[in-house]
Chains A and B, each alone.
Chain A
Amino acid sequence: MSPVEALYYGLAALGLMAFLSVMVLALTWGERKALARIQMRMGPMRVGLHGTLQPVADVMKLVLKEDILPSWADRRIYWAAPLAVFVPAFLVWVTIPVSRDVVIRNMDVGLFYVVAITALSVLGLVMAGWGSANKYAILGGLRAAGQLISYEVPFIMAALAVAMLSQSLDLTEIVDGQAVFANALVQPLGLFLFFTAGLAELGRTPFDIHHAESEVVGGPFVEYSGAHWAVFFLAEYVNTFTIAALTVLLFFGGWRWPDVPFDGGVHTALSVLWFMVKTYAVILVIFWVRGTYPRLRIDQLMAFGWKLLVPLSFANIVLTGVVLFYGWPLWTLTVLSLGLLGGAFYLISILPGRGPSRMTVAVRPARDLRTRAAGSSASGVDSR
């Protein structure tokens, strides 16, 4: 690596940091405004025009707040946890293209890189949960680990089906494959799986089991305050932006579909703009979902992941493989994909059970399990 290249990567990292920070500030403002709109409120109005400077005030508040270290906490793990969440969130952007050639480093294993690095972010949540020496934090950390590992399966499988369709893991090539029509039109089922599993990976509202305020009072973050909490917050919004950007790249044709006019620099600028417009549209849907759906219960979450999303994601791969192998026209994949999605929802709606009990796994009280274990053991002697 020459000094020039080293300088390029250093500057790129700084630029990326600035870009992501600005995006996060915009997202926090946008989320509060969107939720306020859904709830027929005004949202932040005081600081700046329509509250546009509110994020800046929030940052000032967070940085000036006292950083508290609980006396029983494991100091090293407690302080390292925010970094372990933030670094993967940041590293993913090394290979995500915003437009053709507007990317730090394009890789031919780009999609796989993104998936592998995203998988690392669970670690920070688990560390925060254990390091805080707090019951709620540990419960939240366990929930985070369970949820994120479960939903990684449909998330990766849905991305894999797109890679099969594009015959590439290179994100730029995946976008080029959608120049005529977007993958969302070919794989509606894939879009549903990717977006839903992506929401769960983010831990955003219908799936915010691990920091559910009314159950585990903030989960792994319960003891954090000030700048360290701000780092978690930053990572969460960077991840939201990442999932939206990936949805656009994989399913909505990135900066293409349809191509923007003109050549040269104007074309690139318009491409970036077009990509951003699409990404913010997806983000708006994420906010809309948050404002609309209540939180799932933890057993519903697991059942939804393992009983619905995982089988559907495997079916999606098989369908894509069959259509590609026999060389059927792509509209057959659309029809089959939609049929499977509709069929799955129809099956859920006619399955026995009503309301909340429909998508659940059986939860038995602990004492039930204890008596069962004691009864099944050969001696049957339990001193208690």
Chain B
Amino acid sequence: MITPAVVLFYAAAALTIGGGLVVVMSRNIVYAALALLVSLMGVAGVFLLAFAEFLALVQVLIYSGAVVIVFLFALMLTRIEDFSRLTDHRQWPVAAIIAVSVFALLAAAIARTSVRTEPDRQSVGLSEFGETLFAEWAVPFEVASLVLLVALIGAVVLVRRDGGRD
């Protein structure tokens, strides 16, 4: 049955897959970064259709608002001519094999999992979500933030090799 939700889902899926294809096939690295943004926004759309509003917004804020911007920030300092042979790299057969096997693995895993379909599913309230995340799952949350902190400090240490004067 074709409902608006189904149409929107296919639109979001098309954005995700199309964006992903442009990322790997584009000859212009800035286009590839912008296509990555489109793809990530498509994923946010899928989250939104699954009533995961919070996750969708996190996707927009972190990936589109921060990660892609940082990519572009670095890419702006390059010229396109530096990447003229971007897509005919010799490693592409290996990359294709790995990509196909990961896809096969995920597809098999999804096919074996029994998918629950709840037609009347509603979004979880934000306060309920917050309580689950910060009370019930507080320890994994803290571990994740610790990992991020370590990565952050590591990045600072890597960049400041001269010890600094200020």
On A, residues with C-beta under 8 Å from B are: 1, 74, 76-77, 107-109, 112-113, 115-117, 119-120, 122-123, 126-127, 129-130, 138, 141-142, 145-146, 149, 152, 167, 169, 361-362, 372, 376
Contact = CB atoms under 8 A, between A and B. Distances in A.
Nearest to B123: A108
Interface stretch (B15-23, B137-145, B158-166): B158-166
A122 B30 contact: no
A129 B162 contact: no
Contacts of B57: 109, 112-113, 116
Contact of B72 (A109, A112, A123, A152): A123
B13 interface: no
A169 B165 CA distance: 42
Given A112-B57, A116-B61, A122-B69, A129 B76 contact: yes
B32 to A, nearest CB: 12
25 contacts: A1-B4, A76-B31, A77-B31, A77-B34, A112-B54, A116-B57, A116-B58, A117-B60, A119-B60, A119-B61, A119-B64, A120-B64, A120-B65, A122-B69, A123-B37, A123-B68, A126-B72, A126-B73, A129-B76, A130-B75, A142-B76, A142-B77, A146-B73, A149-B69, A362-B165
Contact of B54 (A109, A119, A120, A146): A109
Nearest to A360: B166
Interface of B: 4, 30-31, 34, 37, 53-54, 57-58, 60-61, 64-66, 68-70, 72-73, 75-77, 125-127, 161-162, 165-166
A376 B162 CA distance: 8
Interface of B is mostly: helix
Contacts of A141: 76
Interface of A is mostly: helix
A169 B76 contact: no
A119 B34 contact: no
A116 B76 contact: no
Contacts of A120: 60, 64-65
Nearest to A364: B165
A169 B129 CA distance: 13
B126 A109 contact: yes
A113 B77 CA distance: 31
Contacts of B65: 116, 119-120, 122, 152
A255 B53 CA distance: 27
Contacts of B60: 116-117, 119-120
A1 B8 CA distance: 11
Given A145-B69, A145-B73, A169-B126, A115 B61 contact: yes
Given A1-B4, A116-B57, A142-B76, A123 B161 contact: no
Contacts of A149: 66, 69-70
A142 B72 CA distance: 9
Contacts of A119: 60-61, 64-66
Given A109-B57, A123-B37, A145-B69, 14 more contacts: A74-B30, A76-B31, A108-B126, A109-B126, A116-B60, A116-B65, A122-B69, A123-B72, A130-B72, A130-B76, A141-B76, A145-B72, A145-B76, A376-B162
